């Protein structure tokens, strides 16, 4: 385990073990401290939805407090915000289509211009805007735990990253080695806090729909058998599973 990530791994794993208590067994069955950290890190990689997990794996492979690690910290938080904003956008679109949810005039005016470019600042704006729209219309987020996360403290924590990304991530000015090391430590602490807030995501696997079959018996309503594969290449032991639902997803689609 890369020592710069020790605090992140311990703290975030502690949060996901609360969200998924069955994971709490891992620290107790391994005596060697180095091996234990490796196992906990692999659990973070495999349990978070894969767009986040893959960035964590890349981060854990950056052992030095250098520019490469600083860039990967930015990429990890950016992918996390992107994933969260897509969850919220998917739900809100469904609420608009199916339940008559409304966007605000300000949102409709700003959204098209925002997403000519997919930047960190635009993902931050989207998370805040959609979270506010859900709250104002008393719509419970699909992942119910988000109701307790989306609020001013969380939005403010996200707002920190955009100016840092613009100035440092895009090489607007050069940093000394000492400044790079300082920011690597500080940004890892901020990332730890955000991932801890989103620890509940380990209970929502990201899957792809490989096949949909229609199941229909005479004088009974149809149901739909979805063959699901998890989107996580680090879990080679995963076996496709079937979920029978009353409605159907596009094939191939992606479900959380």
Average pLDDT estimate for 56-84: 94
Determine the Cα–Cα distance for residues 140 and 158; give it in Å rounded to an integer. Answer: 21
Encode pLDDT of 173-224 as tens digits: 678 899 999 999 999 999 999 999 999 999 988 878 878 888 888 888 888 8
Question: Is 60 exceeded by the pLDDT of residue 13?
Answer: yes
pLDDT reported for residue 172? 59
Q: Which of 116-130, 148-162, 205-219 has the lowest mean pLDDT?
A: 205-219
Indicate the average pLDDT of the chain: 85
Q: State the DSSP code for 217.
A: -
For residue 116, give both structure tokens: 């000519």
Determine the Cα–Cα distance for residues 35 and 200; give it in Å rounded to an integer. Answer: 25
pLDDT reported for residue 173? 66
With bands split at pLDDT 50, 70 and 90, how would you rate the model's confidence at 251?
low
pTM of the model: 0.84
Question: Is 60 exceeded by the pLDDT of residue 235?
Answer: no
Determine the Cα–Cα distance for residues 194 and 162; give it in Å rounded to an integer. Answer: 15
Question: Is 60 exceeded by the pLDDT of residue 234?
Answer: no
Determine the Cα–Cα distance for residues 72 and 56; give it in Å rounded to an integer. Answer: 9
pLDDT reported for residue 236? 45
Encode pLDDT of 76-93 as tens digits: 999 999 999 999 999 999
Determine the Cα–Cα distance for residues 80 and 70; give it in Å rounded to an integer. Answer: 16
Encode pLDDT of 31-41 as tens digits: 677 888 888 99
For residue 11, give both structure tokens: 């703290």
Q: How many CB atoms lie within 10 A of CB 117?
A: 8
For residue 119, give both structure tokens: 């930047």
């Amino acid at each position: 385990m890369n020592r710069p990530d020790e605090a992140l791994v311990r703290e975030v794993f502690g949060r996901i073990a609360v969200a998924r208590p069955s994971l709490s067994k891992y620290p107790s069955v391994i005596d060697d401290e180095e091996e234990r950290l490796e196992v906990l890190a692999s659990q973070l990689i495999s349990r978070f939805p894969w767009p986040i997990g893959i960035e964590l794996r890349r981060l854990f492979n950056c052992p030095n407090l250098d520019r490469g690690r600083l860039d990967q910290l930015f990429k990890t938080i950016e992918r996390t915000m992107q994933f969260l904003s897509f969850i919220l956008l998917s739900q809100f679109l469904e609420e608009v289509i199916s339940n008559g949810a409304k966007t605000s005039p300000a949102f409709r005016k700003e959204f098209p211009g925002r997403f000519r470019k997919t930047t960190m600042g635009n993902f931050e704006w989207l998370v805040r805007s959609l979270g506010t729209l859900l709250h104002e219309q008393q719509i419970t987020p699909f992942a119910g735990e988000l109701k307790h996360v989306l609020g001013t403290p969380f939005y403010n924590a996200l707002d920190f990253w955009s100016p840092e990304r613009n100035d440092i991530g895009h090489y607007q000015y050069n940093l000394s080695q000492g400044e790079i090391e300082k920011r690597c430590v500080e940004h890892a602490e901020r990332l730890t806090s955000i991932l801890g807030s989103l620890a509940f995501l380990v209970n929502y696997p990201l899957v792809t729909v490989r096949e949909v079959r229609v199941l229909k018996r005479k004088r009974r309503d149809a149901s739909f058998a979805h063959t699901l594969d998890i989107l996580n290449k680090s879990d080679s032991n995963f076996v496709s599973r079937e979920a029978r639902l009353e409605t159907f997803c596009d094939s191939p689609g992606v479900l959380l």
